[in-house]
A and B are shown apart, each in its own frame.
Chain A
Amino acid sequence: MRPGRYRLAMAALLFSMMAVPAQAATIQIATTDLVFAPAEVSAKVGDTIEWINTDVFVHTATARNGDFDVNMPPKKTVTSVLTKAGTVEYYCRYHPNMKAVLTITP
């Protein structure tokens, strides 16, 4: 293979790798009657979580390891993007009896 062709093939390969990124998903997690549902969710770095608070109370989704702290106003939906991999236990700061787990793969 001539050097020029090789370079072209490499470029095509690189381009195809860039053009087909991992599909980022949107995942919904709701708080209803002081319960996170689903309580266990698997996601990937780059995915968006839609936090749907159906309660009349303010909640938070606060990671125990400090990776995220999302404020969830009553009757509102807020979004956050996952930036770090890990198995993250999170809870509500106002109602620490609300607990759930997010498993985030790279």
Chain B
Amino acid sequence: MFVRLSAAIAALSILGSAALAQGAKPTDPQIAHIAYTAGVIDIAAAKQAIEKAGNKDVKAFAQDMVRDHEAVNKQALDLVKKLNVTPEDNDTSKALSKQATEKLAELAKLKGAEYDKAYLANEVAYHKAVNGALETQLIPSASNAELKSLLQTGLKIFQGHQQHAEQVAAKLK
């Protein structure tokens, strides 16, 4: 519980403070970069889980994450290409990546059931944090209608994954 909560707070504060640091709402190229990065992070975590997870439901969940986030990110790439937008790296993306790398290293040290539990707890917290950022920041800031609509689909996917992760986690106990 503590791990889950602290991870959620850390991720949220990163998203929040990075935006505050910029002093302005993110631009579409930045939003596209943040959303894409959020997907890449979850794919990396899932790939680690496919290797490490002991429980078959946890492994299957990780495979679902790879499949869905690759599909969303492919749509995102197709869209930026179509709109002729180049995703722009930014403080929020950087902070997210840095935090994710640390989390991956932390999870790498765990084994078996302990790993499974920690991975799922982080998945719940991470998806919750991204949902919050999408709802309060990224979606309202997006100016292109197609980008906004893709982010809205992304939000539904992330909300679905959060619930799915919660269900798999509940079955582990």
Chain A interface (Cβ within 8 Å of chain B)? Answer: 33-35, 56-58, 74, 92-98
The count of chain B contact residues (Cβ–Cβ below 8 Å) is 16
Asked whether A95 and B71 contact (CB < 8 A) given A34-B153, A34-B156, the answer is no
A96 to B61, CA, bound (A): 13
Main secondary structure of the interface of A (DSSP, over half): loop
Q: Which residue in chain A gives the minimum CB-CB distance to B71?
A: A56
A104 to chain B, nearest CB (A): 26
Question: Which residues on the A side are within 8 Å of B152 (C-beta)?
Answer: 33
Main secondary structure of the interface of B (DSSP, over half): helix
A96 to chain B, nearest CB (A): 4
Question: Which residues on the A side are within 8 Å of B71 (C-beta)?
Answer: 56-57, 74
Q: Which residue in chain B gives the minimum CB-CB distance to A35?
A: B156
Asked whether A57 and B68 contact (CB < 8 A) given A94-B164, A96-B164, A96-B167, the answer is yes
Point out the residue from B67, B68, B153, B156 that lies within 8 Å of A97, measured CB to CB: B156
Interface pair B74/A92, CB less than 8 Å apart: no
Asked whether A97 and B64 contact (CB < 8 A) given A56-B71, A74-B71, the answer is no
Task: Give B49-76 as 1s and 0s: 1 = Cβ < 8 Å from A's Cβ atoms.
Answer: 0000000000000001001100100110
A96 to B156, CA, bound (A): 10
Asked whether A95 and B67 contact (CB < 8 A) given A34-B153, A34-B157, A57-B157, the answer is no
Question: Which residues on the B side are within 8 Å of A58 (C-beta)?
Answer: 67-68
Question: Which residues on the A side are within 8 Å of B163 (C-beta)?
Answer: 95-97
B18 to chain A, nearest CB (A): 27
**Cβ < 8 Å to A, chain B residues 68-88:** 68, 71, 74-75
Q: How many A-B residue pairs have CB under 8 A?
A: 40
Interface pair B75/A95, CB less than 8 Å apart: no
A21 to B31, CA, bound (A): 58
- Starting from the known contacts A56-B71, A57-B67, A97-B156, 13 additional A-B residue pairs (CB-CB under 8 Å) come to A33-B153, A33-B156, A34-B160, A57-B68, A58-B68, A74-B71, A92-B160, A94-B160, A94-B164, A95-B156, A95-B159, A96-B160, A96-B167
**Cβ < 8 Å to A, chain B residues 17-54:** none
Question: Which residues on the B side are within 8 Å of A35 (C-beta)?
Answer: 156
The 5 closest A-B pairs by CB, nearest first: A95-B160, A34-B156, A96-B163, A56-B71, A97-B160
A56 to B79, CA, bound (A): 14
